[in-house]
């Protein structure tokens, strides 16, 4: 039987049970299929179709209740919203020496020679020296953005600040042993959530004397009041 004929026969079943189709696919194609379905379900077109279906049946669209913000949260939201897209913080320089790199290697058990073997790196590495782990650079974001200084809390009126995660991370250029780095921060968005605010920041780790950054990350934090 031809594939086209088979799919025609199965079109009703596929429409009703789309995820069963993935079981017939090879693992490599299956991932693309699942990703396609996920994007299709979350697309603007899918949202529009759902709205049109609701409108045609006369059903009402439930509107989410507005978030009631704490007065201090409203104040911070207003202050940060006024700075969207602007650079709001440039941190102090921090040196990334071999001792720091070795300590990180010991904690993570990542002892690749490009990070820890200075003699071999000098002879074989294109950078002619050891380089910091990308995740070491990433882990320094808290100190580089002054987020862990108890004497200089960025949001003192918040009861709790939570690292909610990262939307995306890139390491455009390696941080070499002995480099000094600092963070530059921009606010991307400020969104009210239950009992607080969600703040998305773009943090770029500048390498002294280098045009390209060592890390660019979109960080998400949540403030609770």
> What pLDDT does 60 receive?
60
Give yes or no for a contact between 204 and 87, defined as CB atoms under 8 angstroms apart: no
23 pLDDT higher than 70: no
41 pLDDT higher than 60: no
Q: Helix, strand, coil: what percent of the chain each, to 5?
A: 40, 25, 35
Tell me the domain boundaries of the chain: 3-56, 71-224
- Give the range among 33-47, 143-157, 160-174 with minimum mean pLDDT: 33-47
The DSSP bridge partners found for residue 94 are 181
67 CB-near residues (< 8 Å, 6+ apart): 192, 193, 194
Specify the CATH number of the domain 71-224: 3.10.129.10
Query: Does the predicted TM-score (pTM) go above 0.85?
Result: no
Q: What string of DSSP letters covers 40-92?
A: HHHSHHHHHHHHHHHHHHTPPPPPPPPP---HHHHHHHHHHHTTTTSEEEE--
pLDDT (mean) for 41-55: 61
> What pLDDT does 106 receive?
98
Confidence of residue 68 (pLDDT cuts 50, 70, 90): confident
Helix (H, G, I), strand (E, B) or coil at 203: strand
- Which tokens in the block code for residue 159? 């009861």
> What pLDDT does 4 receive?
54
Cα separation, 47 vs 59, whole angstroms: 15
Burial of 44: CB neighbours in 10 Å, binned 0-12, 13-18, 19+: exposed
- Give the range among 8-22, 49-63, 104-118, 196-210 with minimum mean pLDDT: 8-22
pLDDT (mean) for 171-193: 97
Give yes or no for a contact between 159 and 57, defined as CB atoms under 8 angstroms apart: no
- Give the range among 24-28, 53-57, 211-215 with minimum mean pLDDT: 24-28
120 pLDDT higher than 70: yes
Task: Give residue-wise pLDDT tens across range 125-138.
Answer: 999 999 999 999 99
**Length of the chain counted residue by residue:** 225
Cα separation, 190 vs 127, whole angstroms: 39
């Amino acid at each position: 039987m031809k594939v086209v004929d088979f799919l025609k026969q199965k079109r009703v079943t596929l429409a009703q049970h789309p995820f069963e189709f993935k079981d017939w696919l090879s693992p490599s194609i299956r991932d693309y299929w699942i990703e396609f379905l996920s994007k299709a379900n979350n697309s603007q077109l899918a949202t529009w179709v759902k709205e049109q279906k609701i409108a045609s049946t006369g059903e009402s669209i439930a509107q989410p209740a507005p978030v009631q913000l704490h007065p201090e949260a409203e104040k911070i939201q207003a202050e940060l919203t006024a700075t969207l897209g602007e650079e709001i913080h440039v941190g102090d320089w921090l040196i990334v020496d071999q001792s720091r790199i070795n300590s990180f290697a010991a904690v993570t058990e990542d002892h690749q020679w490009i990070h820890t073997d200075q003699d071999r790196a000098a002879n074989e590495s294109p950078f002619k020296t050891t380089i910091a782990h990308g995740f070491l650079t990433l882990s320094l974001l808290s100190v580089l953005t002054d987020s862990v200084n108890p004497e200089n809390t960025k949001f003192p009126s918040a009861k709790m600040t939570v690292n909610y995660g990262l939307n995306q991370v890139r390491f455009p250029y390696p941080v070499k042993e002995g480099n000094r780095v600092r963070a530059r921060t921009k606010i991307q968005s400020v969104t009210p959530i239950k009992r607080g605010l969600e703040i998305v920041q773009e943090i770029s780790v500048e390498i002294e004397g280098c045009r390209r950054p060592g890390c660019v990350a979109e960080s998400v934090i949540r403030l609770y009041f």
